[in-house]
Amino acid sequence: MRQHQETLTIETNGRGPVSITKHVASVIAGAGVQTGLCVILVQHTSASLVIQENADPSARGDLDRFLQKIAPENAAYYEHRAEGPDDMPSHIRSALTSTTETIPIANGQLALGTWQGIFLWEHRRRPHRRQVLVHILGE
């Protein structure tokens, strides 16, 4: 059984999804694992990971608008505002999505469905540099 771990640095342009599927696939190729698991962790509390529609960006746009609606900026009931009006909503959006994903590896590739992609979801308005840990386990 082999293990491989690598940290990706992902630059975001502000709120919204950034496809990281090719980055993760490159880590798997470098690990030389044919069958196993890929565990991905975003090491932040105001960004998340999602497996989502990879062909039609309108699905991701709709999801982003939905998250903005259920976790709006400047809600009067927020106490945590240390880094501005998008601070607490970004934590709520992250809690409602996920900070980890586990994906099988089959034949040396991510076993994603045809229309699935892996996205780092930036929940803050301004650009950030995010760290994503990729851990590969397999043979």
Q: Taking the model in full, what pTM does it have?
A: 0.95
Alpha helical stretches, state H, 1-139? 21-31, 57-70, 87-96
Q: List the Cα angle 44/49/51 in 5-degree steps.
A: 175
pLDDT recorded at residue 23: 98
Q: pLDDT (tens digit, 9 = 90+) per residue, 76-108? A: 999 999 899 999 999 999 999 999 999 999 999
Q: Is residue 55 within 8 Å of 132, Cβ to Cβ?
A: no
pLDDT recorded at residue 38: 98
Q: What is the CATH number of the domain that holds 131?
A: 2.60.120.460
End-to-end CA separation in angstroms for the chain: 5
What is the 8-class DSSP label of residue 120?
A: E
Range of the domain at 83: 2-138
pLDDT recorded at residue 104: 98
pLDDT recorded at residue 46: 97
The torsion defined by the Cα of 105, 108, 114 and 115, in degrees rounded to 10, comes to 70
Q: List the Cα angle 70/47/64 in 5-degree steps.
A: 40
pLDDT recorded at residue 63: 94
- For the chain, residues with pLDDT lower than 50 are none
**Residue 48: count of CB within 10 angstroms of its CB:** 24
Count: domains in the chain: 1
